[in-house]
A and B are shown apart, each in its own frame.
Chain A
Amino acid sequence: MNLIVSSSPHIHDKESVPKIMLHVILALLPAAAASVYFFGIRALWVMLVSIATAEISEYLFLLLRKKDTSAALDGSAFLTGLLLALTLPPSIDLSMVAIGSAVAIIIAKQMFGGFGANIFNPALVGRAFLQAAFPIPMTTWVANRASHIDATTVATPLGGFKFSHLITAHKDLLLGNVAGSLGETSAILLLLGGLYLLIRKYIDWRIPVGVLGSVFVFDGILWLFNSRKYPDPVFMLLAGGLMLGAWFMATDPVTSPVSPAGIWIYSIGIGFFVVLIRVFGGMPEGVMYSILIMNSFVPLMDKYLRQRMLGEKK
């Protein structure tokens, strides 16, 4: 008889960090598979390079920081690699993919202290870095194989609207017969993945609801004012990286608030910036910057907007 003496509780539920990571990756697989269908085997290479670089960077930096290297197997680096790949254009040079992925893990995650300590979403920092370093390859879009357009480069739905006032049909946005990043094609598959995470309670429902709801409302107001000048709100929801951002990026637990009031400010803030950048900004898409901007407020919100305790004065 060798009894363990430890602090209560003595039982634990079945959740764990690797399990959460695994399910988020599973939830992304339909959209990832669709990207291979839409853009060919090249999309698979982008994902593989991104994931491999993320894992290698994670392992090397854990080694360098003299930390437990088994943390590289918790799934979080894999997820960062996959998420980054889904935000990249299919035609991007693979060396650029590797650079972006290394920046995501090394600069945005390990430099801050590793898993749980980063302020900004690592995948989005990686993408922001690539956007600044390689602006042309990052905004060159190849045609979607399902759209039967025979051209070397095309515009994304949001780019088309911003610069040429072209409207893409809602059906094409839903199914994904459009140009864009690997993961900003099929809104329906992303929605499915997001709902799966919601049902399993791995993400907080208030974040996608706050982000998508506020985009719909803010853009809806503009659209009611002038439906010719401003895009319709359903188009806004389905186009670009919003679905991926709202369900898989903004919901990253590490970089989103836990305070209930904070969660609403955070998610509505993201929606506000998305509309602001897309409609009035110089770029057609603004999900990445919107999330990164609101990420920076998270520590502040968790400190000053904590939930009321039972019996605490109102």
Chain B
Amino acid sequence: MIQLRMRRGVHPPEGKLSAGKPIEEFPVPKQVVIPLSQHAGKPATPLVKKRQKVKTGEKIGEASGFISAPVHSSVTGTVKTLETVLLPNGSSALAAIIAVDEGEEEWAEPTWPMKDLSALTPEDLRTITREAGIVGLGGAVFPTSVKISPPKEYPIDSVIVNGAECEPYLTSDHRLMLEHTQEIFQAAQLLKMTVGAKRGYIAIEDNKRDAAEAFENLVKGVGDWEVVLLKTRYPQGAEKSLIKVILGREVPMGGLPFHVGALVQNVGTLYAIYEAAARGIPLIRRVVTVTGEGVKNPSNFLTRIGTSAAELLQAAGADLEAARKIVFGGPMMGMAVKAPEIPVLKSTSGILVLSSVKKKKVFPCLYCGKCVYACPLGITTTRLVKYIQAGMWDQAKAFGLFNCMECGVCSYVCPANIPLVHWIRYGKFMVRMMEAKQ
């Protein structure tokens, strides 16, 4: 086991309340809401009509371009309607609303060839990840089939399994690693084979030592795999941070991990790959951590995509009366929602209930530089945000406006309580809007 640590970033209180709770299968709800846009890229094209019967795992939306992903029904039932619904990020998208049939669940046949895992070729894995609608479950929801098909001129030498789970509170990856170590490792080996990498690393933070030990036992006999125990730090699990910490390489600005010969995959994604390749199940369910101070019984639920967050919150005993914020995802990068009646998506790693949210007084910037030294990407946030506030867009771009991954570290440390990430989002929005006009 190698031990490494990230230099920048922060270490917020971990709050992993649900770390000791085994994954429970959440009952199939009476109705699911499945948006056709749950991934980075173009929304899927609907394949179903009103009143159409669908089976569990049946494709209901087809990928509509290279960077897109299909969407599958997570239940057996009848399409009630196709309508626009609210997504956690505040945008809206077309969704299939499916009423679940009473009686036996019927599973659709996979739309990809089922083979013994050892007989799979790289091409097979690309087909499987594409057909099964697998996207990066760490948060970016980038289509996995695209990610594992880097251009030929950029050979991949290292695969990193991302089990850092550096966001406070979230434990879905932790539980997966403990309960499905073998499955995740098999998928990781498939991944390594697909991109032809020489070395594999399994990166886990030291607040999940038990998971690291579980993997250590598995990789002992396999020469080209190594478990990396990382000192807990946020945002260590971000691709660029992880590549820097483990491989010592810097992904060039505006570039992607393949530019430096690396491929990073989240453990949740790997488990989804295993489910598709070995069991023929597309991405129709995922582990969702339901947690927070206002939740009586913090839990990790294996949830069908499209289940309303309200149902999960109720099952976990969330005190919704006292709730001040409901967040989809973790506290650092998650999205606060207006109401809990929002469906669980492929990207929903957790639902967090915060009951003590204080509105903090904002002071003028005092140039203390805490944000500048904490930024994992080395952005001079003090100046970048001044440029954004002044509408100096060219200077803002030169100071890394579009480098920012919105990890939230700067806002977290700011003693003046300036919503720095919010300003940066505003800056990106303004620049994109102006560039679109031209």
Question: Residues of A with Cβ closer than 8 Å to B?
Answer: 1-13, 15-17, 19-20, 71, 74, 114-117, 204, 253-254, 256, 258-259, 302-303, 306-313
Report Cα–Cα, A310/B254, bound state, in Å.
Answer: 10
Docked-complex contact B12 and A11, CB < 8 angstroms: yes
- Scoring B13, B378, B406 by chain A CB atoms within 10 A of each residue's CB, the highest score goes to B378
Asked whether any CB of chain A lies closer than 8 Å to the CB of B287, the reply is: no
Nearest-CB residue, chain B, relative to A17: B363
**A-B contacts, 21 listed (Cβ < 8 Å):** A2-B324, A3-B323, A3-B336, A5-B337, A8-B331, A9-B411, A9-B412, A10-B332, A10-B336, A11-B12, A11-B332, A11-B354, A15-B413, A74-B363, A253-B366, A253-B367, A258-B368, A258-B372, A302-B382, A307-B372, A312-B253
A207 to chain B, nearest CB (A): 11
Contacts known (A74-B363, A258-B382); A8 close to B369, Cβ less than 8 A: no
Interface of chain B, main secondary structure: loop
Within 8 A of A (CB), among B245-280: 250-253, 255
Greatest chain A CB density within 10 A among B321, B360, B366 is at B366
With A15-B413, A258-B372, A309-B400 as given contacts, are A7 and B367 in contact (CB-CB < 8 Å)? no
Q: A13-B12, A17-B415, A311-B253 are in contact. Are A8 and B332 (CB under 8 A)?
A: yes
Q: Is B379 an interface residue (CB 8 A)?
A: yes
* Contact assessment for B378 and A309 in the assembled complex, using a CB-CB cutoff below 8 Å: yes
* A115 and B253 contact, CB distance less than 8 A: no
Q: How far is the CA of A19 from the CA of B415 in the complex (A)?
A: 9
Whether the Cβ atoms of A12 and B325 lie closer than 8 Å is no
Minimum CB–CB distance from B378 to chain A (whole Å) comes to 4
Cβ-defined contact, A116 with B363, below 8 A? yes
Q: Identify the 9 closest CB pairs spanning chains A and B, nearest first.
A: A9-B408, A116-B364, A258-B369, A7-B422, A253-B368, A15-B415, A306-B380, A309-B378, A17-B363
Q: Are A7 and B372 in contact (CB under 8 A)?
A: no
Contacts A1-B323, A8-B335, A254-B366 known; 15 new A-B pairs at CB < 8 A: A3-B325, A3-B326, A10-B327, A10-B357, A11-B12, A11-B13, A11-B412, A12-B412, A12-B417, A13-B412, A116-B366, A117-B364, A309-B379, A311-B253, A311-B403
Contact A309 B367 (CB under 8 A): no
B391 at the interface (CB under 8 A from A): no
Task: Name the B residues within 8 Å of A16 (CB-CB).
Answer: 360, 363, 415-417
**Residue on B with the closest CB to A11?**
B331
Q: Is B425 an interface residue (CB 8 A)?
A: yes
Task: Find the A residue at minimum CB distance from B325.
Answer: A4
Question: Are A3 and B364 in contact, CB atoms less than 8 angstroms apart?
Answer: no
| Inter-subunit contact B320/A311 (CB<8 Å) | no
Proximity bits, B107-122, A CB within 8 Å = 1, else 0: 0000000000000000
Residue of A with least CB distance to B379: A309
Cβ of B306 within 8 Å of any chain A Cβ, yes or no, is no
Which residues of A are found within 8 Å of B365, using beta-carbon distances? Answer: 116
Q: Decide if A309 touches B253 in the complex (CB within 8 Å).
A: yes
Taken together as a complex, chains A and B put the C-alpha atoms of A7 and B13 apart, in Å, by: 20
Q: Determine whether the beta carbon of B333 is less than 8 Å from that of A8.
A: yes
The range of chain B's interface size is: 35 or more
Contact in complex: B364, A10 (CB < 8 Å): no
From A114, which residue of chain B is reached at the shortest CB distance? B364
Report B182 CB to chain A, min CB distance, Å.
Answer: 34
- Kindly state the separation between the CA atoms of A4 and B336 in the bound complex, as whole angstroms: 7
Residue on A with the closest CB to B406? Answer: A8
Kindly state the separation between the CA atoms of A10 and B332 in the bound complex, as whole angstroms: 6
Given known contacts A9-B412, A15-B415, A259-B380, A310 and B331 CB-to-CB distance under 8 angstroms: no
Q: Assess the A1–B380 pair: CB atoms within 8 A.
A: no
Bound CA span A131–B172, Å? 65
CB-CB under 8 A from B363, the residues of chain A are: 16-17, 71, 74, 115-116
Chain B residues with CB under 8 Å of A2's CB are: 324
Question: How many angstroms from the CA of A302 to the CA of B411 in the assembled complex?
Answer: 20
Neighbouring B residues of A10 by C-beta, 8 Å: 325, 327, 331-332, 334, 336, 352, 354, 357
Tell me, rounded to whole Å, the shortest Cβ–Cβ distance linking B159 to chain A. Answer: 20
Asked whether, in the complex, the Cβ of B334 is within 8 Å of the Cβ of A8, the reply is yes
Q: B240 contacts which chain A residues (CB < 8 A)? A: 310-311
B196 at the interface (CB under 8 A from A): no
Interface string of B177-200 (1 = CB under 8 A from A): 000000000000000000000000
B399 within 8 A of A: yes
Contact B367 A254 (CB under 8 A): yes
Chain B nearest CB from A69 CB (Å) reads 13
Q: Does B345 contact A (CB under 8 A)?
A: no
CB distance from A77 to the nearest CB of B (A): 13
The smallest beta-carbon distance between A91 and chain B, in angstroms, is 34
Answer whether residue B49 sits at the interface, using C-beta atoms and an 8 A cutoff: no
Q: Which residue in B168, B336, B367, B416 is a CB contact (below 8 Å) of A8?
A: B336
| Residue B203 at the chain A interface, CB threshold 8 Å | no
Q: Is B383 an interface residue (CB 8 A)?
A: yes
Say yes or no for B376: interface residue by CB 8 A criterion. yes
How far does the Cβ of A130 sit from chain B's closest Cβ, in whole Å? 26
Nearest to A20 among chain B residues (CB) is B415
Residues in A neighbouring B339, C-beta threshold 8 A? 3
Query: Cβ of B296 < 8 Å from any Cβ of A?
Result: no
- Considering only CB atoms, which chain A residue lies closest to B335 in the complex? A8
Q: What A residues does B253 contact at CB under 8 A?
A: 309-312
Looking at the complex, which one of A7, A71, A204, A309 makes contact with B421 (CB distance below 8 Å)? A7
CA distance A17 to B370 in the complex (A): 12
